[in-house]
Copies of this chain bind each other. A is one copy, B any other.
Amino acid sequence: MKYTKYLSMITIIALTSIGCNENKKNEQSPLVLKATQNGLKAIPTNESELHKIINNPQNPVTKDKVEFGKKLFFEPRLSKSNLISCNSCHNLGLGGDDGVSSAIGHGWTSNPHHLNSPTVYNAVFADKQFWDGRSPDLENQAQGPILASPEMASTKEIVVNTITSIPEYLAEYKKVFKTDEVTYEKITSAIGTFERTLVTPSRFDDFLNGNSKALTKEEEKGLETFIDKGCVSCHNGYALGGTMQPFPAVKPFKYSNIGNFSSKIVKVPTLRNITETAPYFHNGSSWDLSETVKIMGETQLGLDLKDNEVQEIVTFLKTLDGRKPIISYPILPKETSQTPKPNLDIN
């Protein structure tokens, strides 16, 4: 365990908020049993268990790499303009996203497909990345937006030259990757490593981990409804989401006319911190969580959920508001005369 700076904080918060012994598996409440049998999983409170889940053996999570990746996550000089960082659209202070329907990037360009920025919190738990699932993991995902012209509009050359021209970054890179060869892929992989640590355990996890008092009776009822109505068939696992599924599956989607995203298979969004990540759907078409639950019932399950059922589910969803890791805002090393200059041109 080498990245305790972040994980230990998460773990400490999680540990201090559970009241029971999570190992008493034989004493699980019927609802906990039902939830886990339906595929819901708690973020473990045990640091080494969590490490196994979030680690990438091909690009191990280490303390130094997390720290380097954190700086790069907040680093606007990776963008063409020097003004846009990962945190611009995946704002860690705002639930890990930007709160606008369609992402805005270089030159105030809106995402050409009217795609909504998904939260970076708990993204590590997803099977695939991007709405169409074209990326296998966070390290790979991080390569995309930096180069995309409507996002950070950069080039591999700018990114590599920025890192190599700043002595502190170059030293940090060499320390982390044990090589003098600076590549775009390795630089961006450190961002993915940092993102792997962004997990947010909530009262829901406390409940599954054995604290029978973590949820109110209304919230337990909401969890029952969530399971019984079938939401859990897609919203399961650690992320309560993150797999690729047909959308819309059963009935047409009322906001399908917004944007031109054409994939029939769509990544199921995580429900963790869902109350902080409006607007909803891949095209950011609804600002209302109740409406969103109602629509999902129709399009995915063919159900006309009653108002009280919708409200029960929403009551449960609020238990997924997570405890965020404490992040000290990084002081970024200063550039040199060799560092690429900002380019604000739109074309």
Contact = CB atoms under 8 A, between A and B. Distances in A.
Interface of A: 74, 76-77, 81-83, 88, 91-95, 98-100, 104, 107-108, 110, 275-276, 278, 287-288, 324, 326-332, 334-335, 337, 341-342, 344, 346
Contact of A276 (B93, B328, B334, B342): B334
B100 A329 contact: no
Nearest to A334: B276
A77 B326 CA distance: 21
- How many copies of this chain are found per oligomer? 2
Contacts of A334: 95, 275-276
Contacts of A91: 76
A78 to B, nearest CB: 12
Contact of A327 (B94, B108, B329, B342): B329
B342 A100 contact: yes
A13 to B, nearest CB: 12
B100 A83 contact: yes
B342 A99 contact: yes
14 contacts: A76-B91, A76-B94, A76-B99, A77-B94, A77-B99, A81-B100, A92-B331, A93-B329, A100-B342, A107-B108, A108-B344, A110-B344, A287-B337, A328-B329
Contact of A288 (B88, B107, B337): B337
Contacts of A331: 92-93, 324
A88 B104 CA distance: 14
A292 to B, nearest CB: 13
Nearest to A77: B99
Given A92-B331, A99-B335, A327-B328, 5 more contacts: A76-B99, A100-B344, A104-B344, A108-B108, A287-B341
A149 to B, nearest CB: 14
A158 to B, nearest CB: 14
A91 B87 CA distance: 12
User: Top 8 nearest A-B pairs by Cβ distance?
Assistant: A108-B108, A93-B332, A327-B329, A276-B334, A329-B329, A100-B342, A324-B331, A107-B108
Which of A91, A275, A287 has the most C-beta atoms of chain B within 10 angstroms of its own C-beta?
Answer: A91
Contact of A332 (B94, B98, B326): B94
A341 to B, nearest CB: 7
Contact of A82 (B74, B100, B275, B332): B100
A310 to B, nearest CB: 15
A83 B98 contact: yes
Contacts of A288: 337
Nearest to A75: B93
A52 B335 CA distance: 35
A265 to B, nearest CB: 29
Contact of A83 (B104, B278, B332, B337): B104
Nearest to A278: B335
